[in-house]
Amino acid sequence: MRGSRHFPSVLGAGLLVAWAARPVAASVDAPGPWHVNLNLGAGGAGGDFANTVEKPVAFDVNLSKGSRAWRFGAGLEYSSMAMKPPYAAENDWSRMSTYALASRVFNHEGRVRPYLQARVGLARVHPRSLVFLVIPREDYEAGENPTHAANGFGLSLVPGAEIGLVPTLSLDLSAAFTAYSTSDLDLSAIGQPPAGAGNEWHLRGGLTWRPRRGTRGYRGGGVEEEGTDADDGPVQLELPLAPGIAPDGAAALRRAA
């Protein structure tokens, strides 16, 4: 009797695993090899800037290619960080990164696709608070940066999972850990030593869109035509026979073609 009470839970867990692992049916309208990813995240900041900024909010967009276990691409991330008290009312700091990425996707044919992504690229940190003015207020013009920025490089690790919603659209849930190193910023205006190495972490949510693959077209009359895909090879399309054409007639048409 005790085992029977647990049977529904075990059965439910088994069905969930089976649903997550089942492959997405292939068709001529199946998603192609390109992936467009948009994410929004929030978290915390540390490193040399731990006493200066907090509560980063990051927007990330990237484009990658690959329809199996590996994807490669590039992207852009923008992060906005608030200054800590007593400077909380000041303008935010920004960090912008352009990066190349490589992703290892697990269960790539299933509905739930865990992945691990690595990134490397350029980083730019810019404190926009007027506390750090290097040009007097009365002297700088619209569009001019009155505060110094620092340039360097960054590394990121992004573990996450895609959850298929429809064949071409997936929910993307992930965490991101970023470390960056730039030239030193002068923080003497707020009583802090120069800083140039920082890190951020974010919990993120977003969407991944895969445009549908294309085909070369149709001949009609029940003749098979090949569509091509850069990653998956030829796709055989079997069209319905036109009225009055027998199967052996269709075969003759194929031989003549």
In this predicted structure, which of 34-38, 43-47, 67-71, 137-141 has the lowest mean pLDDT? 137-141
Which token pair is 198?
A: 């920082």
Over residues 115-141, the mean pLDDT reads 82
DSSP-H helix ranges across the chain? 2-21, 247-256
Is the pLDDT at 154 greater than 50? The verdict is: yes
Question: Is the CB of residue 218 less than 8 Å from the CB of residue 238?
Answer: no
**Over the stretch 38-50, which tens digit does the pLDDT of each residue have?**
999 999 999 999 9
For the chain, what is the mean pLDDT? Answer: 79
Is the pLDDT at 193 greater than 70? The verdict is: yes
Give the CA distances from residue 22 to residues 14, 74, 99, 110, in Å, rounded to whole numbers and listed in that order.
Answer: 12, 29, 33, 5
Which range, 17-21, 182-186, 240-244, is most confident? Answer: 182-186
Identify the band that residue 220 occupies on the pLDDT scale cut at 50, 70 and 90.
very low
Domains delineated in the chain? 15-209 (2.40.160.20), 225-256 (no CATH)
Over residues 131-156, the mean pLDDT reads 76
Question: Is the CB of residue 138 less than 8 Å from the CB of residue 176?
Answer: no
**Over the stretch 222-232, which tens digit does the pLDDT of each residue have?**
333 444 444 44
Is the pLDDT at 212 greater than 70? The verdict is: yes
- Better-scored residue on pLDDT, 173 or 215: 173
Report the alpha-carbon distance of residue 39 to residue 174 in Å, rounded: 9
Is the pLDDT at 217 greater than 50? The verdict is: no
The end-to-end CA distance of the chain, in Å, is 68
Cis peptide before 86 (omega within 30 of 0): yes
Over residues 112-119, the mean pLDDT reads 97
Over residues 166-192, the mean pLDDT reads 93
Identify the band that residue 248 occupies on the pLDDT scale cut at 50, 70 and 90.
low
H or E element, residue 121: strand 112-127
R_g of the chain, CA atoms, integer Å: 26
Question: Is the CB of residue 123 less than 8 Å from the CB of residue 97?
Answer: yes
